[in-house]
Amino acid sequence: MNIQEMMAQAQQMQEHLQKQMAEMRVDATAGGGMVTVTINGNKQLLSIKLDPEVVSKDDVEMLQDLIVAATNDAHRKVDQALASQMQGQLQGLAGGRLPGLS
């Protein structure tokens, strides 16, 4: 395989990965499900769902902490999913014959 073919294949992989990132949806929760966030593969926050029991003017700090925890967990899950997808795609590049990628 020549370098131009490899570059074209890498470009296709990048476009495919970008499409997957936009379509990916990841949910994460905190506080035993009291807060649920949904983000996409680009780490854009799409939605926040709150259990009505967690909404209290007397405990705003706890709610804020739960939202942050759920969002951070969702970001971690996206990172893991993308790393796994990227590893699979790199192994497929050039039939897995790229030096240092085994």
What is each CA distance from 87 to 17, 25, 48, 98, in whole angstroms? 11, 20, 30, 12
Across 86-90, average pLDDT: 75
Is the model's pLDDT at 97 over the cut of 80? no
Round to whole Å and give the CA distance between 17 and 81: 11
- Name the pLDDT band for 99 (thresholds 50, 70, 90): low
Is the model's pLDDT at 31 over the cut of 90? yes
Round to whole Å and give the CA distance between 34 and 52: 8
Across 46-69, average pLDDT: 93
